[in-house]
Amino acid sequence: MTQSLADMRRDYTRDGLAEDQAPAEPFSLFEQWFAEAVKTEQAPVEANAMTLATVDGEGRPHCRVLLLKGLDARGFTFFTNYRSAKGQHLLDNPFAAMTFFWPALERQVRIEGRVEKVTAKESDDYYQVRPLGSRLGAWASPQSQVIADRQVLQALLEATTARFADSQPHCPEHWGGYRLLPERIEFWQGRASRLHDRLNYRLIAGHWQRERLAP
């Protein structure tokens, strides 16, 4: 390693986050920050990329990067294979956390809450707007299962392509969406000298309460 990790540091001086800049509920602030991230972040950063954390049946945490595919007043939606590792984790423990990091804006958002499956119609509606290759891949890939090599996956894709040669693939029952219903959303804005701004929203008895956390 050419540079010591202890010497890798950056001072955050772009912006601040004061209470008078923040609404009483978190969704409009997230939408504002997300829109700014879409305009500001450059490739290879994807503004809708997030780290999703789940916990398995033995209490061990697991993280991976996914793409946010839906947001409304109910929560944050992503799609996956229900038989995947994350699908099994959510079956055993239906709670998750997600983190968005937008380095150009020196911002991150942390979200925690219960996770539920979206309706079959919501899953099908999104499935039908995906590229054909992605729709075929949802059928072909035994996600998270051990396979011998890349050729196995290629053979599965070829078989799936042949299966749907004369028809459009429909949404598999084992594939669809999850919605994280937030109970906590924290907005983090980098500041100088590591004295970052952290505004935390907690859902209590159906109402959002806002508080400032020390960095």
Cβ-based neighbour number of residue 75 at 10 Å: 20
Q: Residue 210, annotated ligand binder?
A: no
Q: What are phi and psi of 85, to 5 degrees?
A: -60, -45
Q: Residue 33, annotated ligand binder?
A: no
Q: Residue 195, annotated ligand binder?
A: yes
Q: Residue 10, annotated ligand binder?
A: yes
Q: Residue 78, annotated ligand binder?
A: no
Q: What are phi and psi of 83, to 5 degrees?
A: -90, 0
Between 120-129 and 132-140, two packed helices, what is the crossing angle to 10 degrees? 130
Structure tokens, 46: 């994807």
Q: Residue 114, annotated ligand binder?
A: no
Q: Residue 134, annotated ligand binder?
A: yes
Question: Which sequence positions are flagged as catalytic?
Answer: 194
∠ CA 60-66-67 to the nearest 5 degrees?
Answer: 150
Beta strand 175-189 with 61-67 is unpaired
Q: Residue 54, annotated ligand binder?
A: no
Residue 200 β-bridge partners: 186, 211
Residues tagged in the binding site annotation for substrate: 9-12, 69, 126, 130, 134, 194-196
Which positions make up the binding site? 9-12, 64-69, 79-80, 86, 108, 126, 130, 134, 143-144, 188, 194-196, 198
Annotated binding site for FMN: 64-69, 79-80, 86, 108, 143-144, 188, 198
